[in-house]
Amino acid sequence: MNPSARLQATLELLSEIDATPRPADALVSAYFRARRYLGSKDRAAIAERLYDILRHHARLNWWLDYKTAVKDKGADVPYSSRLRLLAYLVLVEKVPPEEIKILFSGGKFAPPSLEEDEIKLIRKLVTHTLLHPGMPEEVQGECPAWAAESLKRRFGRDFMHEMAALLQPAPLDLRVNPLKATRDAMLAELKKLGLKVKAGRLSPFSIRVDERPSLSALPMLKNGAVEIQDEGSQLVAMLVDAKPGQRVVDFCAGAGGKTLAIAVAMQNKGRIIACDVLAGRLKRSTERFRRAGLHNIEVRPLTSEHDPWVKKHKAGFDRVLVDAPCSGTGTWRRNPDARWHSLGPGIEKLLGLQAEILSSAARLVKPGGRLVYATCSLLPEENENQIEAFLAAHPDFRLVPYKETLKDVPSAHENYLALTTARHHTDGFFAAAMERKTMPPE
């Protein structure tokens, strides 16, 4: 593809993301699947530019507000994808106006020619840099209004430092499956493939890949020797502290990433039940389980958090993980579109749902068993506040300080596992472990 064709593809994807209530990564995958004629370099260039534009969403809109005299609009106003692309080319990539005119030639596979108003906008922007003294902190940090107050309270003077870390592209983290390989062996194999890799800093099973290889070219992914999993997510699974022979429930299993890590910790002995209300995701996860050589996992779809199966198996499990649905603020570097496009319940509904799920799943834990609540959120409302409210309402549980399990892992909180991108170089995660002291009330 020539540069103009790549720009047109980026423009098409931006427009689709604006118009479609689906995650950007799913739309990008579908777009490329429908255009298999695109080469790997073209795909990489288009995706890299697209995600960088998404990471500059608020700042680009601020400049469009400022230079187009549009009043009473906030940083998350969806200007046309074309205007945002033009602002990005000028302010971020520093493409000269004359070159932009050539790229927007109106020719075959190229974006339509520039209109007079667009040429005027380019001329207004060309003398500026991306950041402006008049930009509020939340705009500079690409933080949406609904999350800004809570995150500023949590991070205080470190707010901008944490937001800056979430603007960097996420690395590729792998988790070694010790049932099939060792980390040293996998590091050696990956280096033979010409990849820049290093051992993870926090998880003994983690490998960080400092580039974006074609995943189809990694044989260890195909045979289950490694799985893709952020290092922070690996630590959450380790906090469950599952032992061989135990009975375990992953209550919100999703695609099964943490289920896999827990099953491996159990050495294929005992039973882990992967539950979720999204039966399709659970069904797709079974191939991952098979590939990893695991046969101690049972998949069970639930109708809701109050499915009759929960009551039937009251106090029947040694470990229960609740990886609750959340705002996903800790994954913004991976999913920059999630800052601006709400694809699920709003924060207020999420808070109620999280409390309901945690309370219901807690019934499954037997005396002496462990309940772990986790999110990929940075908001205290979804994390510490939920645990404090749960323990106040459930005196039959006690908090287990995370250090009792993860002795060598630093945390942003004394008792909970609290990971942030700036401090730990992982996605943002929260996890709290609790132990049931007595039988649950009738």
* 362, 395 contact by CB (below 8 A): no
* 257, 276 contact by CB (below 8 A): no
Element holding 185 (H helix, E strand)? helix 183-192
Q: Helix, strand, or coil here: 432?
A: strand
Among 381, 374, 385, 436, which residue's Cα sits nearest to residue 238? 374
Element holding 424 (H helix, E strand)? helix 421-424
> Sheet containing 197-199: which strands, arranged edge to edge?
197-199, 206-209, 172-176, 226-228
Residue 376 appears among annotated catalytic residues = yes
| Block residue for tokens 């990886």 | 323
Report the 10 Å Cβ neighbour count for 327. Answer: 27
Report the 10 Å Cβ neighbour count for 421. Answer: 26
* 259, 232 contact by CB (below 8 A): no
- All residues at 6 or more sequence positions from 60 whose CB lies less than 8 Å from its CB, including other chains: 53, 79, 84, 87, 88, 91
Report the 10 Å Cβ neighbour count for 96. Answer: 12
- All residues at 6 or more sequence positions from 119 whose CB lies less than 8 Å from its CB, including other chains: 97, 101
Report the 10 Å Cβ neighbour count for 54. Answer: 22
Backbone angles phi, psi at 138, to 5 degrees: -65, -30
Backbone angles phi, psi at 35, to 5 degrees: -135, 60
Element holding 321 (H helix, E strand)? strand 317-323
The half-sphere exposure of 177 on its side-chain side, counting CA atoms within 13 A, is 25
Helices (H), 328-415: 347-362, 384-393
| DSSP category for residue 407 | T
* CA 225/CA 216 separation, integer angstroms: 14
* 313, 286 contact by CB (below 8 A): no
Q: Which of 252, 275, 326, 376 is catalytic?
A: 376
CA dihedral 186, 191, 41, 88 (to 10 degrees): 90
Tell me the catalytic residues: 376
